[in-house]
Structure 1
Amino acid sequence: MTTPTTPTRSRRTGRARLHRSLAGAATAALALGVLAGCGDNDGDRADDPAPAGSTSSPTAGETEPSVSTEPSPTASEPATQEPEETSTVPVYYVGDSPMGPRLYREFRKVSGDPALGAADMVAAGVPADPDYRAAFPVDGSFSSVRLDEAADLIIAQVPDDRWADRPAGTSKKQARLAMQALVYTVQGALQSRAPVQVVGEPDGPAVPMFGIATGGGVKNKSQLDVLALVSVTSPESDAEVSGTFTASGVASSFEATVPWQVRDASGAVVVDGFATAEGWMDRLYPWSSEVDVSGLEPGEYTFAAMTDDPTGGAEGPGPFEDTKVISVG
């Protein structure tokens, strides 16, 4: 996306985060649509205390059971529960590009059901990158998201009709992009390219979303039509880096060349290079590159990845760009 001309980027006030989302972006650099589940490991548990009134001593090979000193939970004091398992999911937000608004991907951690958490992040989550914005014009949450393999559909259930009609001030193009943000996000979370159908009741009929009919399912449009043609997965926004770090993302760039730059607070390029993606033309492909910042003074910089423009801006809309503020230590 277009890099701001001011030395530092302003932080926008975002929407309230959902209770299902965990702060911070995902730390794994992943290929397009691939998830990395990361469950919390159970810690070592103390043995249960010996039954009350027991007078038997441990036999050979047994250890003395430890006795908990924590008070027993009462009706007003619920027992401590194990933390919910978390998953890393792709979430698609809207950002600006030379060809108008496009979808940019972030990896986020959510608790509970991955697909439901991802859908709720689309509906009301706050992007980690301040250059992005939520695709949905109205906040809300989903009741459930599931894959119906028999019907080859992803079923997203809504609790009310707040998203049935296209809100005033929202264009048809914006509504279609919001729908695609949901489609790409839940498809990534469920690892399925099944179309997405919205319902109001379990096993109920399809209902519209933003005035778009969803009966039979809404398919994902071509990546080249709705996604930004370059996206940075790593480093994340406000990442702390030093020495040499690995930058990565996805792109569809001329001859698979993905130029990148590190810019100082004035916008001057202080380090540059390029990555070679795994392909180009028909879709977005993964790219990665080693970035050496060992010669830079500590401070805040901007990492930018771009699509290659062989015409030098003479033809076409110009290069796509995605930027991340980084802190060099």
Structure 2
Amino acid sequence: MTRRFDAQGQAAPMRPPAQKPGGDRPRALTFTAFGLASEAEPVAPGLHIVATPIGNLRDITIRALATLAAADAVLAEDTRVTRTLLAHYGITTPLLAYHEHSNEAVRERMVARLRAGEALALVSDAGTPLVSDPGYKLVQAAIAAGIAITPVPGPSAVMTALVAAGLPTDRFFFEGFLPQKAGARRNRLEALIRVPGTLVLFESPHRLPEMLADAAAVLGPDRPAAVTRELTKFYETIRRDTLGALSERFAQDGAPKGEIVVIIGAATTPERTAEDDTALDALLRSALERHSIKDAASLVADQTGQPRRLVYARALVLARSEG
């Protein structure tokens, strides 16, 4: 017997599926899970943001399956990846490509379909759409057009790695991918030094050893960290240690394979005191008598170990107030 569920997971009465326009044979709004065929109620018109597994195909909700089965089309970052997921659950919803190279004309076509009353499901290759993903542009366009946005929550590489790392989770900052070039990467890491929370970063496997070396050099080798690889998959591994130790380990072992999420503990520097600020100002005033603002800030930052951006910002304030 075929079961029918609505998008909220509630059992619904059986009724025949709606006919396609033009009298074509209707598409069955069905999915197969646990060896049983289930039929989904049509979902409301609008854009449905559907989270999908990050590796293990069993990590998907019944609501997500029902939404994917009932939608008029699924907008996929890579249709080949999403086709595998849909086939696994016996879903025959048409697939359309929507990715970082999709232009304004593509978004306009999608919005036009939404305005016409269709229900479109947006997915990424893995996890929750819009997180380090180009889908936000379509969501912005849909909101501007007055289209309803419905989130269908589920797997997230960010949250999965965070809870597995063993580091504080009460406050965290998602950075995503750091710049590829070493200089820009170090500059960005400097900007993250004082973030008062656990850092969550994505990284390509072949860049991981270089990134860890830069992170240890800029953020400090004693910061606790974790490198998670292939989360939810057969070869899932989690390495927990200090940044310095992890950097050495991956420098020796080389680049790993698979999807990588790096978790780095928050800075533990003590609160600055009024005495600290007075001492910094004194050093800057002395340096500003002989050097430009930029050079004075650089010299004092090297002397005190304070972040260059912080010292430069203070040097600007002093130069303007005493100029």
- Bigger Rg over Cα: 2
Q: What TM-score bracket applies, with the shorter chain setting the length?
A: under 0.3
* More RCO (CA 8 Å, sep 6+): 1
Greater share of helix:
2
Greater share of strand:
1
